[in-house]
Structure 1
């Protein structure tokens, strides 16, 4: 039986070997996220929400 195009896109069941292969990739993503978070914290001009409100008033932190 020939698989449809949609069926081809569905990954096969995860096996222990495929999960082991993913460990390194997930560690890379986790490390990259930590680097981004640390960089964001370094450039923040306020340390907490109350300090931000005191400095900027009613301006939303994202906008």
Structure 2
């Protein structure tokens, strides 16, 4: 009664559901992404501080 396509779709959905609940390696991935984002934030902050300091030093009183 099921066609081959329906069986294939059912297997695909079951595999996706299994992978969705598989959390192996998630913590490592989250740590790496967090570290990259933190490094980018520090780089942006350093650039902003440098630009503001240069602009403040260029003001003639």
- Structure with greater contact order relative to length (CA < 8 Å, sep ≥ 6): 1
TM-score, normalising length: structure 2: 0.51
Aligned residue pairs total: 43
Higher Rg? 2
Cα deviation, 1:31-61, whole Å, max 9, x if unaligned, reads: 00000000000011238xxxxxxx9xxxxxx
- Counterpart check, 1:3 vs 2:9: yes
Q: How large is the Cα RMSD of the aligned pairs?
A: 3.2
The SS at the match of 1:30 is: helix
TM-score by length of 1: 0.50
Moved over 2 A (4+): 7-11
Q: Which runs of 5+ in 2 are unaligned?
A: 1-6, 54-58
